Every structure is written in C-alpha cells, then in structure tokens.
Amino acid sequence: MKDNKIQYLDLGMSDYKITWNRQEELMKQVINQKNKNNAIADVLRAATSNYLLFVEHPHVYTLGKSGDEHNLLLNYIQLQAKEASFYKTDRGGDITYHGPGQLVGYPILDLENFGMGLRQYIYNLEETVIRTLTLYDIVATRDPNATGVWLDVGQPAARKICAIGVKSSHFVTMHGFALNINTDLEYFNHINPCGFSDKGVTSLEKELGTKQDFERVKGIVLEKFAEVFAAAIV
C-alpha cells in the first residue's frame, strides 16, 4: 500500500540535536513499518507514513559523514564566542552552517510511496527551491558538480543559496535542505561551505536588498514541495 500524504510539522526554533533525534525516531518508525509489511500478506499491510519538518536552528555547524573537519575554520573557543555548536552527522555532503533566518526542511519520506530513487529525490528538493525562487524573480539553477541550488553557475560570482545533504536507509530519507532567507551570512566566513573554498553563499535578503517575510517564504516552499512531489500536505 502506497501513500503520498505528507504530515507537516513546523518545529519553529529548535536545537539541532533535539531535531536530529526527532528525525531518527520518525525514520525508525517508518522503517519498522516497512519491515513489518515485508513479513505479511499484501492485504494486511499498512501504509508507511511520510513527514516534512520545517525548523530554524540556533547557530550550528554540521559536518557530513565524508566531510573534512579542516573545512571548519574555528576552534572550540572561537565557536563558543560565536555562540555556535558543532556536530558530526550521518548525512551526505561536507560542512554547512544553520542559523536563525534560514529555513531548514527535513523530509522523512518513504521514497517507494513516490516511486522514486535517491537521485530523483535530490533533484526534486532542488526543484522545490528553484520554483520558489522563481516567484521572487531569482533565476536559480543546479551545478552539475555539486548538489544544492545556485545562482550564476559557471561564473566567478557563482553562489549557493540552498544547501542539500541527505541520508537514506531502506529508501527512507532524513536530513534535507537549508534555504538562506534572512540568514546572517557572516557565519559562512568561518567554514569552506560544503567543502568549497572558491564559491560564495547568498540569501534571499542579500539578493533582493531587503529583509524577507520568513513565514511567506515558508508557505511558498511548502506549496512547491507538495507540487513537485505530487503530494497532499496534511
């Protein structure tokens, strides 16, 4: 039994580790249901659930499982001075920053419910953000050499506006995307974002020259996510 409904949870401002634990709990729940389904007849199987968490985090740097700690350019004392924390994670990708003014989306989806693999899933996350930015007259694209959503790809001024790093197990996802809306970009000066030392970062606020309505952007992203994944948000 497949289900394209997605339960939406707005967590507001939430500590990174607490949210990570929440993701793991939901992912485990979905995988357990999949395992149960595999052991029983089709008519007895229950649909697996899908979730989408939206959150802002206090200042935090996170490192992907294949990332290089040297891409964090701060030591422990300097991190404390910035009121920031640091976590090694089990997602893909290298290092990134999360903080106030940044919309972080964590989809916990059973990809089999949507008939897609991991590559298409990441493409869809990028597409969600690209369609959102179109409504702000911002032309965003993909970089063939890096995940995420970028502006002016191939130009000296190439810059990332949305980072993506995911984990998948049994075709169930966690972690996700981080869209810079009113983000304090100064915090990116203390890392090589996503492992790149030669590319910049940007935000909606920086591109448009004025602080943006965070809740409005959040609503558009949610709408475009449902559109791209052909899902019902509940």
* Integer angstrom CA distances of residue 33 from 38, 50, 172: 9, 12, 11
| Largest distance between two CA atoms of the chain | 58
- Give the DSSP letter string of 114-126: TT--HHHHHHHHH
Q: Would you call 84 helix, strand, or coil by DSSP?
A: coil
E strand or H helix that includes residue 3: none
Region of residue 175 (left: phi > 0; alpha: psi -120 to 50; beta: else): left
Whole-number Å distance between alpha carbons of 175 and 97: 14
Helix (H) or strand (E) holding 112: none
For residues 211 and 81, give the distance between their C-alpha atoms in angstroms, rounded to a whole number: 26
- Pairwise CA distance, residues 234 & 231, whole Å: 9
> In a 10 Å sphere around its CB, with 0-12 CB exposed, 13-18 middle and 19+ buried, how is residue 4 labelled?
middle
- Is 57 in a helix, a strand, or coil? coil
Q: Catalogue the active-site residues.
A: 194
